[in-house]
Structures are given as C-alpha cells and as structure tokens.
C-alpha cells in the first residue's frame, strides 16, 4: 500500500447505561459526601449497568452507533479495548462482531485498562497501514464497576460503566481525521499500584474476596499519571511538528479532574484547551476517551480542523498518546 496510507476517523459513537448513580446515593451507604467526592475527583454522577448487562452489550451498541455515524454497515476487523471481558476465555470481540453482523472478520480484545483505547487505535492503524484491513472498528468498553469493592470509599465514587467506538478507514495522511504519531509505554514493575490480584492464572481462586477487587494506591498513581501523560503528549507533538500553541483540544483519559488539570498545566496548555465530561460519567476506563470525543463533538467543543491531542494512563502501568485534526463527523 502507498506510504501515505493512514487510518482516518470516519465514524464515532458512544453508549452509556441508563442508570444514573449520583454522589448522594453513594454517600448514603459509605463514609463520604458529595462535597468530598466533587473536590477530589470532579465527579457528580456516573452510569452503572443494571444486573445482566455486560461489556459486550455496551460495546455492541457503541459499535453500531459508530458504524451508522460513518454511513457504513461493514468493517474488516473489530478491536475491543477492555479489561472487563464477559469471560476469561474467549475474548469478547468475536461476540461483539457477530452481534453487529460482521461475520467472519478478525476480532480480538486489547487489555491495557484505561490506556486501552489509545492502544486499540494504534492496533487499528497498524492493521490499515499493513494492508490487512481497510475499515477497523475500535471500541472501548468496560463494566468497571464489576471490579470495584462496593465497600471501598476510595474507588466506588470514581468508576462508572460505558462504551465508545470509532470506525477507522484507510485514507491519506493529509485527510481530516487521519491519526498521526503514536507514543505508547508501559512499566510492569509498578503493576501493584493499580491492580486486581486474583482471578487470573496465577491466583485463580483466592479465599479473600478483597483480592478480586481493584486495589489502587491513589497518591502514587496520581503522580505517575500526571507526569507520564504530559511526557507522552510532548512526544507526539514533537513527532507531528506541532507546538503547544497549535493544540485546540486536549482530550485525556477522564480519571480525575485534578489529573487532567495538572497534566494540562505541565504541558503549558491554556486551561480552556482541556475538555472534560468526568462530572457526568466518572472514570469509564477504556471507554473514557471515545465517550469524551462523542460528547465534545455533540456539544460543539470539537470542530472540523481542530488539532486534537488524546492521552491516557492506566493500570499495567500503561500510558500513551496520539493526535489528529478533527474530521467533520456527526457522532451516533
């Protein structure tokens, strides 16, 4: 394929479960308050799935909306970024593809937790660059509340459930929506800062139920998230030949409003360049960035031609960034 072949964002969709859980509901059963949660996280409410609703359910709806946004009914591959697959084996992506009517296409999961969507975009872009696919559906979906200890006041207020998706098409590097440089990293030595100990092959069944829930060393994670996201964003800006002043929007993983604000400050970006929807959705893990993209496009914060930097940080530890000039796309 030509060297100018690029992955171009051609469709965008998101889906949130209908159940809204506000801070007051959480405060009624845990030792916390609306003020405490808002001050430390910027979150007022989040969406939580009803019993029986799964990651596949959310992913299918977001994927369907992304395809409709692009005016497409077909894709050559489905990449599902999630850390809450419906089962350990097999991956959830093949089921998502089947339910979308994409029978026989390549479909697989990518687990980089909150960085998963950026990793998924890089994977989709690579499939297109290699000539393996011309249209790739990249979905970020998580029922992350399934990993949270319902008695943990440190994590319950933070996380919500949701899904977001984009359809990437083969195009030219000069097209609006063409993904630019990627910057991806990990640091496995720090995995225990943010992890679920039990459930995998190493510790399949633990007698301590707490081992099956997320453990987070919040202050240390905060420091790493701010520094790594800023470093990664600088790297893609340099690769693209953009300056800080060129950036119209920074859309980072919606983990915590203070992390986003600190990252923007470290980058030297104007405060109004940052976009956040965390107040209404909380931290939706791999779904965070595509949901934010859809919301920003819907409310007019993203306009065609805007220079956009996306960055994420998550368990693993993993982090990464990419950028693009925003296309003329109507989200589903």
Is residue 287 within 8 Å of residue 281, measured between CB atoms?
A: no
Distance, CA of 332 to CA of 12 (rounded, Å): 6
With cut-offs at 50, 70 and 90, classify the pLDDT of residue 4: low
Say yes or no to pLDDT of 8 above 60.
yes
Closest CA to 310 of 119, 130, 135: 119
pTM for the model: 0.96
Helices (H) and strands (E) in the chain, counts: 9, 13
Lowest average pLDDT, out of 48-62, 164-178, 201-215, goes to 201-215
Say yes or no to pLDDT of 49 above 90.
yes
Contacts of 193 (CB under 8 A, 6+ apart): 216, 217, 220, 221, 224, 315, 317
How far is C-alpha 196 from the geometric centre of its chain's CA atoms?
19
Task: Give the model's pLDDT for residue 99.
Answer: 98
Phi then psi for residue 265, to 5 deg, are: -65, -45
3-state secondary structure (DSSP) of residue 301: coil
Q: What positions carry a catalytic annotation?
A: 114, 253, 283
The CA distances from residue 70 to 13, 112, 179, 226, in Å, are: 9, 26, 16, 34
What's the pLDDT tens digit per position in 120-160? 999 999 999 999 999 999 999 999 999 999 999 999 999 99
Distance, CA of 320 to CA of 208 (rounded, Å): 34
Domains annotated for the chain, with CATH where assigned, are 6-171 (3.40.47.10), 178-326 (3.40.47.10)
Report angle CA 186, 188, 193 to the nearest 5 degrees. Answer: 105
Distance, CA of 324 to CA of 246 (rounded, Å): 12
């Amino acid at each position: 394929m030509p060297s100018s072949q690029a992955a171009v964002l051609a469709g965008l969709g998101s889906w949130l479960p209908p159940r809204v859980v506000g801070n007051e509901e959480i405060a009624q059963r845990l030792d916390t308050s609306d003020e405490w949660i808002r001050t430390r996280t910027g979150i007022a409410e989040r969406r939580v799935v009803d019993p029986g609703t799964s990651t596949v359910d959310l992913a299918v709806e977001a994927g369907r909306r992304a395809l409709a946004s692009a005016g497409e009914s077909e894709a050559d591959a489905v990449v599902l970024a999630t850390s809450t697959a419906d089962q350990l084996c097999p991956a959830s992506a093949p089921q998502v593809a089947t339910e979308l009517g994409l029978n026989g296409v390549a479909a697989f999961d990518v687990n980089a937790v909150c960085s998963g969507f950026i990793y998924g975009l890089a994977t989709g872009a690579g499939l297109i660059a290699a000539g393996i696919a011309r249209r790739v559906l990249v979905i970020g979906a998580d029922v992350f509340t399934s990993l949270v200890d319902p008695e943990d006041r440190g994590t319950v207020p933070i996380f919500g459930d949701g899904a977001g998706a984009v359809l990437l098409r083969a195009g030219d590097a000069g097209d609006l929506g063409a993904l630019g440089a990627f910057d991806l990293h990990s640091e496995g030595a720090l995995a225990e800062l943010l992890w679920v100990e039990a459930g995998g092959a190493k510790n399949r069944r633990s007698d301590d139920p707490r081992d099956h829930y997320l453990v987070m060393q919040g202050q240390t994670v905060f420091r790493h998230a701010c520094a790594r996201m800023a470093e990664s964003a600088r790297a893609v800006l340099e690769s693209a030949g953009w300056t800080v002043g060129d950036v119209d929007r920074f859309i980072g993983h919606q983990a915590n409003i203070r992390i986003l604000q600190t990252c923007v400050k470290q980058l030297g970006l104007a405060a109004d360049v940052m976009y956040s929807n965390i107040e209404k959705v909380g931290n939706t893990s791999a779904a965070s960035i595509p949901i934010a993209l859809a919301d920003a496009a819907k409310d007019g914060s993203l306009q065609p031609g805007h220079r956009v930097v996306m960055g994420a940080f998550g368990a693993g530890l993993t982090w990464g960034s990419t950028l693009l000039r925003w296309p003329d796309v109507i989200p589903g």
